[in-house]
Copies of this chain bind each other. A is one copy, B any other.
């Protein structure tokens, strides 16, 4: 069954960005002394992307990706939620405006039989509030940031979850997947 999925890194205290939108901490070496540095492939992002048929991305996140200089999402269709004009970085990118329900519906259609990858703090927040998220994979970074932008912010309705198996990585990160229960 097609799912709307989140795949996000956050600090132990729940921040997706530090003060002043700092994301440099994400890419630092978090390995404990004597441990091997992180193997990015082990984090399973490529496997995750192989199940994704389309992305729905917030404007702020898109602008961060623009800063990379190179488009990282290959042929995957990407819908950018924005009310402003957009100069697409790749032929697979298009802008869309609307409420979160419309946007998710568009992304589901673009994804065909595969899953939707929802990216961007504000958009995830809106989708959670609307009960539209099916699964969240969080890569916990072993740091307390102490301030910044939270993954969970604003009031959202209570939702029961099931945790999948968690995984620890050589570089110090931990990953946990939570699926939203639809049986409660």
Contacts and interface: CB of A to CB of B under 8 A. Distances in A.
B14 A152 contact: yes
Contact of A142 (B12, B128, B160, B183): B160
A151 B144 CA distance: 12
A22 to B, nearest CB: 10
When all copies of this chain in the complex are counted, the total is: 2
A159 B174 contact: no
Q: Is the interface of A mostly helix, strand, loop or mixed?
A: loop
A143 B161 contact: yes
A178 interface: yes
A13 to B, nearest CB: 4
B183 A176 contact: no
Interface of A: 12-14, 18, 25, 30, 32-33, 128, 140, 142-147, 151-152, 155-163, 165-166, 168, 172-174, 176, 178, 180-181, 183
Closest 9 CB pairs of A and B: A13-B152, A146-B156, A142-B161, A144-B159, A166-B166, A14-B14, A147-B155, A32-B162, A163-B174
